[in-house]
Structure formats: C-alpha cells, structure tokens
Structure 1
C-alpha cells in the first residue's frame, strides 16, 4: 500500500515578541530540512496575532515588518487574529498584506457591502508534490462592536465554517481550519463539524503539548510568544485517499538563532525608529508619574479622554501609563513607550447605582495593585483610578456611599444615567462587572489611548 506524508508546521500568537523570532526561524528551517530529506511535503501556517503594536517595530512600520518576516520564512498561508484585525485601522489593514507572498485566509471578515477584501480569501486548496490535496480555510474571533466601529462586517464564524466545510470536504484529502477563535470554540467546532481533520488554533494561548482529539478531529495550539511551534504529520493512502495516520507534535523553540533574521530585525528597527522620531509636542518641564496618586500627566490624560469622548465624566487607571515624560521634545516613540497598549477609548451610559459599584471596586487596594494580563493591557499594575468630573471623599470609612461621591458638583444619584469615558478593557471581562455587562457601549476607533494623550498634550492649556 503506497502512502504519502505531509508535514504541517504552524505558529500562533507571537504578539510581536520579535526577540524570539530568530529562534523560531532557525527551528522551522531545521524541521523543514528534516522533512525534505525524509521525502515529505511541508506546509507552513500562522494562526494569527503575529503582529502586536506593543512592539516599536510593529508600530513604526504599521505591521508590514511582520509581513516581511513571514515572507522571509516562506509561509504558505495565515489567518488573522484580533490584533491584526482590530488594532490597525481599516486603511492600514487593507494595505498590510500588499507585499505578502502567502495567502491570507479569513472567511468571516467582509466589507460592509458583503464583499471580501482584496487581500483575503475564504480558503485555498494546496496540492503537494506527492499529489495530496489539502483544503485550508481560516476564521477569526468575531468582536462585532469593534469591527463595526472600524468599518468591517464580521460574521459568526460558525456560519462561515459551515459554508467552507460544504465547499471543501468532498474535494480534498485533508481538511484543515486555521482558527483564531480560542480553545473552547475549537472544541465546539470539532464536535459540530467532524468532517474537519485538523484544527490549528490560537487566541487563548493554550499549550496543548500532545494536542487534543475530539471524535476524529485533532486540535493543536502552541502557547504564545514564540515559545513553541507545532508539527503535524499526516499520512494519506495513495489509493483510497483516506488519512491512515495523523500525529501531533509540539516543538519547544530552543535558543538557536538565524543570523540573517537578526540582521533583518536590526534594519527594521532603524526604519521604525525613523518613523517614531517624529516630534508630537514640546513640554517645558519634566512630568513625573505615580501609579498611587494623581499627577499632572494622568490628570491631563483623563481630562483629554472626557473631551475626546464628549462624556459627562471620565475615569482611567494610573497604571495605563508606564513612565513619565522628560522636559523637551516629545516624539511618537516616547508616547508609544509610555503607553504601548492597543487599547481604545470607550464610553458607557451607566446608572448611578452601577457607577457607585464601579468606583467602589476601583478603590479596593487589591484592584489598585492588581497585575493584569490580556484585555490589551501591556503594563504592570492597574494603579489608582484617576477622575475628571468625579470627586471621591478619600477619608470615608467603610464602603463608599453616594454622599461620598460628587458628580459634576452634585451628590451621586443612584437613578441618574451618566455618560462615562473610560477604556475599552474595562468593558469586557472580569475586571469591572458593573460595566462589562452593559449593553450601551461606544468604542472610539481606530485611535488608541496614546493618540488621545498626543492630542491632549498638543491642546493643553
């Protein structure tokens, strides 16, 4: 019985940890070389969030440096994550893959008119040198409010998955989904669509050392930040065209570095530095920062946030800024350094009752010193909550009451609705349940908080 083997190599969730990329390149090249010597065909995929604007190279080059790195390693196809899809403006995303030498597979992202963007495809069928046909499609997590604010239409990924399975299953030997949905949805997909042979996952940063098998479908996800990558060996019977063996391996990326990639990253840094050296404004004195009290810098930002969002009041945590600012010219790079998060301004319409709960939670010591990972936050601790239009009696004993809080000079009223400007990270997840469960939220995109800071500095009085 004649058999044909295809090696699938895959990466996910690098998040622009570019110091790890030379080691990833060396490991991929080594695995490719071994597969080629064994007579196997190789396909290489990335499952999204390769680009993260926390890194100055990604910020300065609008993500195109990340595409250059993917090209250099000869990826066959990728899908996008929320960092590519939601932290770049529509204009930036529409040009991000102009020079890509690989296919971008994302079946559930469309323009508002329902048309696919020119840079993306629903799926791709690869035919290896041994004649094995591999159907591959991609889907990304559907944060509808955010994509809508950016001018995109994002479809429920499971509706897209159903169409892609129907289009591909009878036409290919192997069916693969590149999924930036997270492990929970990958498990749901495996149960709902047993026709899929392999789900290469991402987004939730799970490290599945031995993969996970549900019925006949394998799921694999390799952590984040270039610590591991995946290798899947698929053997197909030449006559029946059926998969006879599928083995999942997780490869730890060791400290072996590709010197050409190191040199390329040095060149990219120089290019990015030139962009980020643009002067935004000049300040006459040094502005220090504290995460435990209000400073002129945090006060300027929260005041600017209120004006930007046209809100009644504003509240923001001091830990959103990582450093103060020196006297003299302030560059784009300096603002990126002190506020690197891909976090957007947001406004919520909230009752006084919920606002009281929000403020109470923010004043807890464990919240002020809480170390946060995810939600776009790239800092260390949340820090003290800083207000504009809200006064809190810090000397109050016990839980804060309405009489301890003034909103625009008047005692907080539990039944009044207030428009509160804050940051998007507070409106989802577990940090502040009092506002994360609200239905009425407005997101201001594509600008980040550092854009509000730049605007506030330029328009300070």
Structure 2
C-alpha cells in the first residue's frame, strides 16, 4: 500500500492559490493520505486575517482537509493571544521551539503529534524560525517578543522530542519553517528525520527526504511505499496546479469575506482626507512623519512613500487602512550619521530608483517611492541644501531618527541601514500609528507644511 503526503507552505493569505490546492486535495486525497503545511499560511496584509486574527481563514484550511501545520513567523506575528485562539480552530498547530515570555509552552501548541495511516505511526514535529541565514541565534525574537512570544534553539529540542517518542513511531516528519539553507544544515544533525517539509524561504525544492513548495503555487507530493520491513520514499515531485472552478471554496470564502468585511468596514472618526503621491511630497507621508515624531520625539523622522498605496479618503475604516498600508512594518528608532541621511535624501531624487519595486522584508507595497520627512526638515533639491530645525545637516553629526524597520534594514535606501541591535522597535505597524492619530488636529495641520522645495525660498 502507498501513502501520499501532500505539502504546502507560505501561502501568505493568497487564497487563490489555496483554492487550487483545495480543489486538488478534495478530489485526490484518500483516507490513507496526509496533507501538511509548513507555516506562513496567514498574513497580516489580508483583511480576512486582520478581522479576527486568522480564525476565519482557518475554516478554509480545515475544508482543505489539512492534518497539521507548523507555526510560521506570520502566525507568530499575530501575537500570543491570537495564537491561542487559532489553536482552538481544530487544526493541530505544531512548534517545538516557541514559548511565552516566561519560557513556558503556549496553550494548544504542540511540539509533535502522531498521525496513523496504513497501520503506521507518523510522528510529525513542527519548528518555527529561529536562525537567520547567517545562523544568528534567536534572530526573530526582537519582533516576536512584542507579541508575547520567544523562541528556543530548535535542533536540541527536536532531538529531545525524537528521544522522548523513540520506539513509538515508524516514520518521522519535520515541518520546518526555517528556510532551505537552515534546513540542510539542521538535517545533517538530525539523521533520525525521514522527511523534512520546509518553508520560509519560498523555494521550490524537491530532493530525497525534502520538499518545499514555493508560496502555494505548487503542491508537494511525496509518495511512500508501506512494506513489511519499513517505509520507502518512491516519489517526490511538485505538482503544477491547473486553475479550475471550485464552487465549494468560492461559497465558503464569500461567507467569510462578507463577515470579515462587516467587522472591518465600520467607519473610523478622522479629521479630513490626506492627499498622496508616491513620487513627490504629499500630505499623507508628511502626516506619518509628524505622527512618528509625536510618538517618539527625535531629531527627525523619515518615511518611504511606498508605505502607502493611495490617498486617505472617505470612508476611513480598519479595512481601508489595511488595504492602503499592507506592509507589516514597525515604527523604529535609532541613531545614524548626517552623511548617511544625506546619501538617502539624494538617492530619493533619482527618478529611476524611486520607481523600483521596493521588495524587502515586511514590505507588501507596490513601489519603493521617494522619501518624506518631519516638518522640521527642509530640503532644497537644486542646491542639495538640507536643514534640520533651521540648522544645516552636518555629515559628521549623529542624529536620532524615527522611521520603520524597512529603512532601518537598508531596504531601498542602503545608507540608512543599522544593525537590529542598534535599533529600538515599537509595537504595532505604521497603519496602527495612522489610526492612532486620525483625530489629532495638530498632526493634520502640520501635514500641510511643505518640506521639499525645487529651489531656494
């Protein structure tokens, strides 16, 4: 007898991809088969996820006959309380290495589970991201801890779990949201793992004992032959999913979308609309910069215009804010030289550069854009004159800035990069900051103050 293990990872709330997986699984999965996912199914850029912390989105996975999932960083970004609620959905969530801030296991999250198929016991162990690509320890904890979650070193914990369950399983599967390169290194130290199903780096990779399926645009299919002497992997492929009609999924998604739309579409009070231009100074980006300065007074605030998709217009709701500010980027405070600031500002005048895609960690926008500044900054483009509080920008001086972790990483504007250890990250995303200041008259008034001039005034 054969057992087929279907596998996905990193949907990031792309429900169109899930729709095709849903159709294939429901048409082909038998009682002897498994469907496993390696995390980052949810994404905070989705209004469905934002509405109720991903609980409604899990209904779609349940109807896709999922057997178990590991927790990716995007699930963890929802925060501890939301994770606990997700665990009540009926989907087994696995992570051997996440803990709360008291270093205790989180309710409803299991290190491993047993799944029995064809009279064989499959041990499935889950892992959440811990190592960076450079194998820096606890590399995600700075952001995880804002939501009440921390991580522990995974290799030791997997070994402990395998030892704890020794003799009780026939085949060991690791659902690892760690990335392909990290998985390869970890598996050298975990020879007891028979199959690793990876995620996090969005690779499409298939080789003996390993599968990772991009971002849900493909479906991993691992076929195992069950013999008297053991379990043998006889096929490991990636299925190309053909787009097809799926009335069952469409109906379920429409019901969920209607409910979540009602939750998020309630109007929010605000003072007035704010104009926006991705490539020139605008009220909306000025507003964000001035709100950042009010949130944490600094020498100046800087923001990339690609943080927004459009103007702030009526009606303003949590839904419209999510759609307008899809990126999951935190307000960030650090110190940097005047020279680095000058380099970034001059680069923001490069018409070719500011029209780049802006792709980078946490970024969900459509274009990089130029830079905007707090009202105490004045920039004269034709002279490259830059002043802060009326004083010329000094290359050798160190300035404190408020921005987001996109610019702090050097995304789009490399000179603004500093190490995470040199930055302070604030809870919430930029869209949450916008919502907080929607009724702040002072910030709305200051957003009209011009900061960038074509020539001396």
State TM-score, norm by structure 1.
0.87
- Cα offset for 1:458? 1.7
1:63 aligns with 2:41: no
Question: Contact 1:280–1:458 (CA<8 Å) still a contact in 2?
Answer: no
In the alignment, structure 2 segments of 5+ residues that lack a partner are 131-139, 443-457
Question: Contact 2:300–2:373 (CA<8 Å) still a contact in 1?
Answer: yes
Tell me the residue number matched to 2:194.
197
Tell me the residue number matched to 1:458.
439
1:219 aligns with 2:216: no
Find 1:260's aligned residue among 236, 241, 248: 248
Tell me the residue number matched to 1:323.
310
Segments of 4+ moved more than 6 angstroms:
none
Tell me the residue number matched to 1:54.
45
Find 1:424's aligned residue among 367, 384, 405: 405
Tell me the residue number matched to 1:393.
380
Question: Contact 2:269–2:439 (CA<8 Å) still a contact in 1?
Answer: yes
Question: Contact 2:178–2:198 (CA<8 Å) still a contact in 1?
Answer: yes
Q: Return the alpha-carbon distance in structure 1 between the equivalents of residues 348 and 166 of structure 2.
A: 51
Q: Return the alpha-carbon distance in structure 2 between the equivalents of residues 171 and 79 of structure 1.
A: 21
SS at match of 2:109: coil
Tell me the residue number matched to 2:98.
109
1:125 aligns with 2:111: no
Question: Contact 2:358–2:411 (CA<8 Å) still a contact in 1?
Answer: no
- Cα offset for 1:363? 4.1
Q: Return the alpha-carbon distance in structure 1 between the equivalents of residues 151 and 218 of structure 2.
A: 30
Tell me the residue number matched to 1:135.
123
Find 1:237's aligned residue among 220, 227, 247: 227
Q: CA distance change for structure 1 residues 430 and 163 in 2, over 3 Å: closer, same or farther?
A: farther
Q: Return the alpha-carbon distance in structure 2 between the equivalents of residues 288 and 280 of structure 1.
A: 18
Tell me the residue number matched to 1:151.
148
- Cα offset for 1:390? 3.0
Q: CA distance change for structure 1 residues 106 and 227 in 2, over 3 Å: closer, same or farther?
A: same
Q: Return the alpha-carbon distance in structure 2 between the equivalents of residues 173 and 393 of structure 1.
A: 70
Mapping 1:2-401, distance limit 5 Å: 4-33=1-30, 36=31, 41-86=32-77, 88-98=78-88, 100-128=89-117, 130-142=118-130, 143-168=140-165, 170-208=167-205, 211-213=206-208, 218-224=209-215, 226-238=216-228, 240=229, 242-284=230-272, 286-326=273-313, 328-388=314-374, 389-396=376-383
SS at match of 2:122: strand
SS at match of 2:44: coil
Q: Return the alpha-carbon distance in structure 2 between the equivalents of residues 262 and 458 of structure 1.
A: 38
Once the two structures are superposed, residues 324-380 of structure 1 have per-residue CA deviations (whole angstroms, 9 ceiling, x without a partner) of: 133x44222222221122222111222334434444444444431111334121211
Q: Return the alpha-carbon distance in structure 1 between the equivalents of residues 293 and 253 of structure 2.
A: 39
- Cα offset for 1:26? 0.8
Question: Contact 2:155–2:190 (CA<8 Å) still a contact in 1?
Answer: no
Alignment root-mean-square deviation, CA: 2.1
Q: Return the alpha-carbon distance in structure 1 between the equivalents of residues 162 and 399 of structure 2.
A: 47
SS at match of 2:220: strand
Q: Return the alpha-carbon distance in structure 2 between the equivalents of residues 429 and 412 of structure 1.
A: 20
SS at match of 2:203: coil
In the alignment, structure 1 segments of 5+ residues that lack a partner are none
Q: Return the alpha-carbon distance in structure 2 between the equivalents of residues 237 and 94 of structure 1.
A: 39
Q: Return the alpha-carbon distance in structure 2 between the equivalents of residues 159 and 362 of structure 1.
A: 46
SS at match of 1:280: coil
